[in-house]
Amino acid sequence: MSRLAAAFARARSEKRAAFVAYLCAGDPDFETSLAACRAVIENGVDVLELGVPFSDPLADGLTNQLAAQRALASGMTSARVFELVRRIREFSEVPVVFYTYYNLVFTNGVDAYVRAARAGRVDGLLTLDLPPEEAGELATACRAQGVDTVFIVAPTTPDARIAIIAKAATGFIYYVSREGVTGVRDQVAGNIPEAVTRIRACTGLPVAVGFGISSRAQVAQVAEHADGVIVGSVLVNCIRDHLGDTGKITARLAAVTADLAQGTRRAG
């Protein structure tokens, strides 16, 4: 069983949703980013989704765009992202999924990139702008190296296309609960139960829901229906709000993560 599969299975056995936390690798610098990753991992995160900083993050709202800018300005590169995972592996076996864009994979050579991911003990790749119909080369490389693939389903995705996406994925399905980009929202989208049911009709893989989830109450709403809850911008804001003070960043991240994690437990 892969680390990803084990994480979702463990959460299911504990009658809760898996907590997936997003942070941008290298935000605002390498050492602070490493400390931030440790803070969330040690306070209830089941899966760490690491954003690979990119100059054109089309799926991201302002919060994550600025995080990527800070990381790139500090000298973060693809090689250093892999180094960050190696440092994480010194203290944790939590599954790590790269949230990335295909240009970063393609320009390094697809096979070489996936081999580097495997060597660096990365568990999965979520390539935001790569549709499954065009993902054959990546899928083949990932299967050969034992790296899971994650694909996105949107509120506008028709049932026939959900089946195609589900067939291409091996790790989990990422359901984007809102149209648009990442960011904190006041309310959870109202279509989640129906959407999760539609996706489950096409796959036995876990379904994790993200985009706009930022409070314990919102986590709890989603956890009643989904196998995993993905939280990002509210955690990235903990870094933004305390730039220059690693101690405050990690303390705030620890508190916010622990609070959000409490929402993953299902009623009854």
Q: Which amino acid is at 256?
A: V
H/E stretch holding 188 reads: none
Across the chain, mean pLDDT equals 94
Domain range list for the chain: 3-262
Cis upstream peptide for 131 (omega within 30°)? no
Nearest to 100 by CA among 59, 143, 48, 141: 59
Q: Is-contact 188 212, C-beta < 8 A?
A: yes
Q: Which entry of 14, 27, 46, 49 is annotated as an active-site residue?
A: 49
- Number of H helices and E strands in the chain, helices first, is 12, 8
Beta bridge partners of 96: 48
The whole-number pLDDT of residue 183 equals 45
pLDDT tens digits for 31-48? 999 999 999 999 999 999
Give the whole-angstrom CA distance, residue 220 versus residue 40. Answer: 18
- What lies within 8 Å, CB to CB, of 34 at 6+ separation is 84, 87, 88
Instruction: Answer yes or no: 14 catalytic.
Output: no
Nearest to 123 by CA among 87, 152, 99: 99
pLDDT tens digits for 131-187? 999 999 999 999 999 999 999 999 999 999 999 999 999 999 999 986 544 545 555
The whole-number pLDDT of residue 42 equals 98
> Burial level of 244, CB count in 10 A (0-12/13-18/19+)?
exposed
Instruction: Answer yes or no: 60 catalytic.
Output: yes
- Reduce the DSSP state of residue 25 to 3 states and report it: coil
pLDDT tens digits for 191-233? 899 999 999 999 999 999 998 899 999 999 999 999 999 999 9
The whole-number pLDDT of residue 56 equals 84
- What lies within 8 Å, CB to CB, of 177 at 6+ separation is 155, 188, 189, 191, 192, 195, 209, 210, 211, 212, 213, 222
Give the whole-angstrom CA distance, residue 159 versus residue 193. Answer: 15
Give the whole-angstrom CA distance, residue 190 versus residue 158. Answer: 18
The whole-number pLDDT of residue 45 equals 98
Q: What region does 24 belong to: left with phi over 0, alpha with psi -120 to 50, or beta?
A: beta
Q: Which entry of 27, 60, 123, 148 is annotated as an active-site residue?
A: 60
- Reduce the DSSP state of residue 1 to 3 states and report it: coil
The whole-number pLDDT of residue 180 equals 47
Sheet strands (E) in the chain: 18-24, 47-51, 96-100, 124-127, 148-153, 172-176, 207-210, 228-231
What value does the mean pLDDT take over residues 54-69?
A: 87
DSSP 241: T
Q: Does domain 3-262 have CATH number 2.30.40.10?
A: no
Measured between alpha carbons, how far is residue 194 from residues 91, 149, 155, 177, 226 in Å? Answer: 39, 24, 10, 11, 11
DSSP 265: B
